[in-house]
Structure 1
Amino acid sequence: MEAIMAERGIVLATLAGIPKRDRRDVEAEVLLNAWNAVRRGLYRPDPKDKPRDALRKWLHGIAWRLASHYVNSAWSRRAVIHPSPLGMLREPVGPDLEAQVAAREVLDAMAELPDWQLEALLSVDSPDSLVAYAKRRRMNPHTAASRLRIAREALALRLRRWRR
């Protein structure tokens, strides 16, 4: 690790194009990746090169790759520092009117369903599986799946009738 740390200058020179606020983080990532590669046996210098030159070339390659990943990352391309970020929005935030009307239609159609069908439809929104839902109600999982299928078909039929 001392040999890698002694060559920090080549790493910093390679990272010169990165903003100062992020340069230390990318430098730390380069050094950490280099050390991990050495531990995994991925540092295999050319025997013809001098040891220090080989290490410098290798560190330059790692730093160059990580710098290009940083520059091309979505974070660095899309991050916009603005004093009032909500003031930049030009379009209204929230669902559009058509989506609200469609949601109201679905809710009204669901309100007309029998309770067992409504309960089967709402079980899909639960974080538990359909099998857990069936066990809580002391029913066969196939029965629960069948009830869910019937409830979905009934809801689809009601929505088709409403939209005609």
Structure 2
Amino acid sequence: MQTRRRTTTAVHERSAPRRRLPSIAKPPAIRIPVERIVAERGWIAALVRAGGVSPRDREDVVQAVILAAWMAVEEGRYHPDASVDPRRALRGWLYGIVWRKVGHHCKRAWVRREIPVADPWSVQPEPPRDDDVLVEARERLLSVRLAVSRLPRRDGEMLALAAIGHGIRDIARRLGMPSSTAVRRLDRARRRLRCLLERQGRAPPERAHTMISR
């Protein structure tokens, strides 16, 4: 029986040390006075405004950027390229800090959901919602919509106009018919809708009941 000799090339390749790529030397860290960072305040504020920060929070974000930049300098994390103009290098470095601070600010939950009011003490808490009541109201509304969709198009139009408060004369004018005809057709549409709702076994919601029995 002929056996196949197993090669161990792949094993040797995995166990062989990887060749390291030459690392790019980072420029040395330098310390700059905080006045140079503060001098870019107007430019920082323009970036913060472009990032979509609300006017009431812009000053806070600008202050956070300046403080973060100054702390980074003090910790030796500012490594500008000596071949680049000093102000251009500083702005390029500040650009990343600005957008990080702006992104963190805009993603906060209280920023997304906060609704400012003039008098916070006058705002009343929303009453607790009963999920069962909401589900029941939604089911009734869907039953009315389903019943209306089964009516002829002209009947649905007349019921919709009556539901939003239009009178007989206005309905007749909009649909291009005499007022007496509009009265008869609206009454017929209400009877048809009532029959469809009774077949579904659901009482219409209050607004629809008013529209039908009016």
Question: Where in structure 2 are the equivalents of 1:90-129 lying within 5 Å?
Answer: 90-91=128-129
1:15 is paired with a residue whose SS is: helix
Structure 2 unaligned segments of length 5 or more: list them: 1-33, 131-214
Q: Find the counterpart in structure 2 of residue 84 from structure 1.
A: 123
Give 2:105's aligned residue. 70
Task: Identify which of 33, 39, 64 aligns with 1:29.
Answer: 64
Q: List, as ranges, runs of 4+ consecutive aligned residues in structure 1 with deviation greater than 6 Å.
A: none
Give, in angstroms, the shift of residue 44 of structure 1: 0.6
Which residue of structure 2 aligns with residue 14 of structure 1? 47
Match of 1:5 among 27, 30, 38: 38
Distance (Å, rounded) in 2 between the aligned partners of 1:12 and 1:71: 15
Distance in 2 (alpha carbons) for counterparts of 1:49 and 1:38: 18
Select 1:47's aligned residue among 55, 70, 82.
Answer: 82
Three-state SS of the structure 1 residue aligned to 2:129 is coil
Aligned partner letter, 2:45 = L
Aligned pairs, how many?
91
The one-letter amino acid of 2:62's match is E
- CA deviations on 1:77-135 (whole Å, 9 max, x unpaired) are 1213355241x34427xxxxxxxxxxxxxxxxxxxxxxxxxxxxxxxxxxxxxxxxxxx
1-side partners of 2:95 and 2:103: how far apart?
Answer: 12
Specify the alignment match of 1:102 in structure 2: none
Q: Which has the higher helix share?
A: 1
Percent identity between matched residues is 43
**Structure 2: which amino acid aligns with 1:56?**
R
TM-score (structure 1 length as normaliser): 0.51
CA distance in 2, matches of 1:85, 1:27: 34
Greater Cα radius of gyration, structure 1 or 2: 2
Contact kept in structure 2, 1:26 and 1:66, CA below 8 Å = yes
Is the contact between residue 15 and residue 27 of structure 1 (CA under 8 Å) also seen in structure 2? yes
Report if aligned partners of 1:5, 1:31 keep a CA contact under 8 Å in 2.
yes
Amino acid at match of 2:129: E
Distance 1:85 1:30 in 2: 36
> Which is worse superposed, 73-82 or 26-35?
73-82
